[in-house]
Structure 1
C-alpha cells in the first residue's frame, strides 16, 4: 500500500510538473498570427530572426480576415497577433468580451484609394461606385477620406472615428458606396470606379502603395499593433517580442523592405 501511494505521488508530481511547464512564462515557442502580406512578412524577415537568436521557435500563422486572429489569440491558439489598430482591438474585444491588450505599435501601410478605370480623383462622375471596408473602424477611415476630398460631408456632431455610411449628410456626386470584406476589396477594382483598400491587402494583391490615387496620413490610433492576452503582458516572451520590434535588426528590415509605411515613434 505504501508503495502504491508512493507511485501515485510520483505520478501526481509528474502531472503537476508538466502543468507547470505548460504554463511556464519562460516558454521558448511562439505562435504569431498575422494577416497574409506585409504584416506576416514583417514578422518573417524582421522579428522571427531576432527571436530565434534568443532561442525561440517562432511559427507564423497567416489569416485572410480580421476576425479569426483575435479569437485564436483569446483561445490560446496564438501567443500574439499583428494586424489591427487600437480602435479595432478595443471594439472587437468589447464586443466579444475578450481580454486582449496592445503590446507595441508597428509600421503600418496606409489605406488608399485605388482605381483600374480612372486616373485621378477629379475624374469622378455622378453615380460612381466606390467600394470600402465593411468593418466599422476601417469603414470610418474610408469615410474620413471621402470627406477630406469633398465627396461627402458628415452630419453635425458625428465623431469621424465612429462614422458610417449612415452618418453622411451630403453626397453631391450621388456616390454609391459598396461595403465589402476588407480582403475582397482588391478584387472589386474591376467592378467599381474607386476602391478604398487597406495597405496590407493592397500589397498582398500585388498593388503598390504608389499606385494609390490618395493615401491617408495615418493618425497614431490607426497605426497597427501587436496584441497579446492581457494576462500575459508581463511574461518574458512578451517582453522579448516588444524588444524585437525595437531592435536595430527590425529597423533595418523596415527601411529596406517596407518603404512608405507609417512608422511608430520608436522607429523614427
Structure 2
C-alpha cells in the first residue's frame, strides 16, 4: 500500500462508524477541502438539507487525491473541491465512475507575495511557486503568459499547458512546482506563489491581498461530484437543489461576495 492510500485509510477510519452502518438515505457524508468550500457547506448547504430531514457529516481533506478515492469507494456520498478538468482527468486516469452534479461559486487562483507589494519587482532569478498538478499548473502558466513573464508555444491548449510548452522564459524566472497544499507556506521562501483559493483562504490569506487573480474560465468553476450511479437518487437531486436555491444565493452574497457566481445564481438575480 503506498503512502497516499495509507493516508486515505487513516482518514476514512474517522468516518467509518458513520458510513458503515446500514445506510440511511437521509444520512449524507460530504467530503471537501478545508476552507471556503467547506464553509459553503457549513453555512449554506447543511442548514438547507437539515430542514429537509437530512443528517450531514462533513469530512475535510488536506489534498486533492483522497476525496475522489473516498467517493468512489463509497465512504462519501459527494465531494466538493475540484473543477471539471481535474475530475475528468482523475476519473479517467484511475478508472473511477464519478460525475459532476452541480457547479458552485468559485474563488479564482491568484498570485500572492510576502516579499513584494507589486508584480513589477520581477527580475532574473525571481522564484515563482505554482501547483504541480497538471490542470492547476496550466492555469498558472496561462496567467504567467498573460503577464509576459513567459511565452507559451503557439497553439498551446490553455487547459493542458505544461512547462514543456514554454517557448521563452521572458523574465528568466525560476518555477517551483509544489503540491497545492504547500503553496501558502512557500510564500516564506518564494518571491511569488500561485495559490488555489481553498488553500489560500484556509491559511488566512484574503482575496483582496492577491497581487492578481485569474478571470475564471468555465472549465475551472468548481463543482459537486458524486458517483455516476447516484445521479438520479433523491439525495443528489436535493443536494443540487440546495445549491441552486435562493437561500444559498443569499449565503453566497453575504459570505462569498468576491467569488465567481454560477450561471444559475446569475439567472436567479435577474428574476
TM-score where L is the length of structure 1: 0.90
Aligned: 1:225 with 2:213: no
Shift of 1:155: 1.3
Report how far residue 169 of structure 1 moved: 0.4
Contact 2:151 2:170 survives alignment (8 Å): no
Is 1:262 the counterpart of 2:260 in the alignment? yes
> Cα distance 1:167–1:57, how it changes in 2: closer, same or farther (>3 A)?
same
Deviation string for 1:212-237 (max 9, x for gaps)? 00000101110000000000000000
Q: 2:241 aligns with which of 223, 240, 243?
A: 243
Q: Which runs of 4+ in 1 moved over 2 A?
A: 21-24
The whole-number CA distance in structure 2 between the counterparts of 1:157 and 1:173 is 21
Q: CA deviation at 1:23?
A: 6.8
The CA RMSD over aligned residues, in Å, is: 1.1
Gaps of 5+ in 1: 1-20
CA-CA distance at 1:167 after TM superposition: 0.9
Give the whole-Å Cα distance in 2 for the aligned partners of 1:197 and 1:34.
Answer: 17
What residue in structure 2 maps to residue 35 of structure 1?
33
Query: Does structure 1 residue 177 correspond to structure 2 residue 175?
Result: yes
Q: Please state how far the C-alpha of 1:48 moved relative to its aligned partner.
A: 0.3
Report the TM-score, using the length of structure 2 for normalisation: 0.89
- Superimposed CA distance per residue, residues 156-194 of structure 1 (whole angstroms, 9 cap, x where no aligned partner): 232121011111000121111000010110000010110
- Where do residues 93-242 of structure 1 align in structure 2 (5 Å cutoff)? 93-242=91-240
Q: Give the structure 2 partner of residue 89 of structure 1.
A: 87
What is the number of residues matched between the two proteins? Answer: 246
The 3-state SS of whatever aligns with 2:156 is coil
Q: Give the Cα separation in 2 of the matches to 1:259 and 1:189.
A: 25
- Give the Cα–Cα distance (whole angstroms) in 2 for the partners of residues 122 and 74 of structure 1: 45
Match of 1:16 in 2: none
Secondary structure of the residue aligned to 1:141 is helix
C-alpha distance in 2 between matches for 1:69 and 1:81 = 7
Q: What are structure 2's unaligned runs of at least 5 residues?
A: 1-20, 267-271
1:70 is aligned to: 68
